[in-house]
Amino acid sequence: MSQKRPDSYHVVKPGDPHPQGWKVPPVNDLRSAIELLKTIPGQYIETDREVDPKDELAGVYRYIGAGGTVMRPTRIGPAMTFNTIKDYPDSRVLVGLMASRERVSALLGAPTRELGIQMAAARRNVTPPIVIDNKDAVCQEVVYRAEDEGFDLRKILPAPTNTTEDAGPYFCLGLVLGSDPDDRDNVDVTIHRLCVQGKDELSIFFAPGRHIDAFRQKAEAAGKALAVSINMGLDPAIPIGACFEAPTTPFGFDELCVAGGLRGRPVELVECLTVQQRAIARAEIVIEGEILPNVRVEEDQNTRTGKAMPEFPGYTGEANPSLPVIKVKAITTRRNPILQTLVGPGEEHVSLAGIPTEASIHIECEDALPGLVQNVYAHSSGGGKFLVVLQVKKRNDGDDGMTKQAALIALAVYRELKNVIIVDEDVDLFDTNDVLWAMQTRFSGDMDTIFVPGVAGHVLDPSQTSLYDPRVTAKGTTTKTIYDATVPFHLKEHFVRAQFKEVDPSLWAPSLFGKEAE
C-alpha cells in the first residue's frame, strides 16, 4: 500500500529493532493481549455470571473499573470479560482493556510516564500495513452475509447500551476503515459512534473534521456509496494509534502506520468479502458495509429518548436528528468472537484519546522548542482531550516566555484542547495534588493566566454553546485558558522544595514495596 507522509518521518521495516529500545510485548491481536494481562496480577478478570448487554453490563463495570469522568462511585480497576451474554450464547464481551495507564504500559511496552513519548516515537518511525491472503485471515473464520435468509445483526452481535437513555445499542470501539473514492490507498481509520438502527443498518456520527467524513462527502457528491469496514476486537496498538488527529496525522496519512511503529511490524489487512475495502485481518469481528449517499436517519428513531449515549465529558450526548447510514453487507468473525466495548466517559477513553494527544504535543513542542518540554499529560478530568499538563525545565530568563509559547503550541496542535496548566520539572504532572499545589504557590490569577477567546473547541462540551455563553455563535466554540504555574527563572532559588534524605524505605516497610522482611 502506498503511504503519504512527510519526508522527515522514518519508515521502520519489518525485522528492524525497535528504535527506542522499549521491550515491546509479543501482542498481535486481542487474544494475545488478554493472555498477557492474565499474567499480571490485578489487571484482568472474567465472569461466567450471565449479564444483559442492555444497561446491565455497563452498570456493572461502572463499579469494577470504568473510572474517568463517570459519575462517582467508580474506580480504575481490571479489564473484564463477560463470558455469558443474555440471548447471545456464542459471544463474549470485553470492557476496559485500556482503562488504566498501567495496563496500557503492559500492552505497549513503555513505562507509564513515557507512553506519550513512545507514541511520538511511533509517529516518527512508522511501519505501513500489508495485505495478506483471505485464507490466512482469522477474522473471516465465520461469515454471515446480509443476503442470507434471516440475517439480523441485532441477533448476531451483542451491542451494549450504556444507560436506559441510550438511543439504542452502540458499537463503542468500532474502528472504521475507509478510503478516498478515487484513491483506494488514501486510507483513514477512526473510531466513531455507531448505533444499531435495524437488522442491516447502522447510523454513524462524525465529529467535525474527520477524514472519513471527507471521503463520504466526496462519494456522496458523485452519487456513490462509500465502502467501509468496521473492525472490533483488536491489538490495542491499533485503536490507540488511530486516535491521532490532524495536524499530527494530516489528510492522507494512514494511522495504521502508527500501530506498525508501536509494534515494529506491519498491521495485516485482508480484502473484504462483499465490499471493495480492506479489513484488519486479526480482528475478532468485522462488519462490512457501505455508507449510503443522501440517506439520513434520526439517531434515536427507535427509542425517542432524545439522547445518544454517554460521552467522554461525563454527560449523555443529545441524539442527532440526521446521521448518515451504513448498510451492512456482511459480518465476519473469529470463532467464539469477543466483542470489545468501553464505557463512554471512562478511563479507557482517556487512554485512547489522551496518550496520542500527549504524543502530538510532545512532537511539536520538541521540534519548535528543543529541550524545554519534559513531558505532557492529558488529564483524566478532561477525558484525555480538554486538559493538558505541560512539564517544563527552564534554562534561562528567555524560557519564561517560551513556556507560554509551548502552551500556545499545544493549543494549536490539538484543536479540541481547552485548558493548559504549565508546571516546573520538580512537580509530578501525573499527580493532581502536586499540580494543584503548584497552582497555590506558583500562580497568581491576574498575572499568570492567558485567555484565548472565540476559538474552535469540541461540540460535546456543554459549556461551548450559546445557551451557556451568549457570545458563542457556533456550537463548539470556547475560550481557551493557559495557567502558568511555573516559577520565574530568576526566582528559582526562592522556590526550592523541602529536600529529604534519600533512603531505601523498603528496609523499614518491606511489605509496602513487595519485598521480604530481613
Angle, CA of 93, 94 and 97, to the nearest 5°: 170
Spatial separation of the C-alpha atoms in residues 172 and 342, rounded to whole Å: 6
142: which strand partners? 333
Q: Which residues are catalytic?
A: 311
Burial 334-366 (b: 16+ CB within 10 A, else e): beebbbbbbbbbbbbbbbbbbbbbbbbbbbbbe
Instruction: Name the DSSP letter for residue 88.
Output: B
Name, in order, each residue with C-beta under 8 angstroms of 93's C-beta and a sequence gap of 6 or more: 51, 53, 57, 81, 82, 85, 158, 160, 338, 339, 340, 341
Spatial separation of the C-alpha atoms in residues 328 and 5, rounded to whole Å: 32
Instruction: Name the DSSP letter for residue 381.
Output: G
Question: Which residue type does 408 have?
Answer: L
Residue 332 and residue 86 in contact, taking contact as beta carbons nearer than 8 Å:
no
Spatial separation of the C-alpha atoms in residues 430 and 443, rounded to whole Å: 18
Could you tell me how far CA 446 lies from the centroid of its own chain? Answer: 35
Spatial separation of the C-alpha atoms in residues 226 and 181, rounded to whole Å: 7
* Residue tagged 476496559 (cell numbers): 96
44: which strand partners? 79
**Residues, the chain:** 518
Residue 238 and residue 101 in contact, taking contact as beta carbons nearer than 8 Å:
no
Three-class SS state of 81: strand
Residue 313 and residue 345 in contact, taking contact as beta carbons nearer than 8 Å:
yes
Three-class SS state of 318: strand
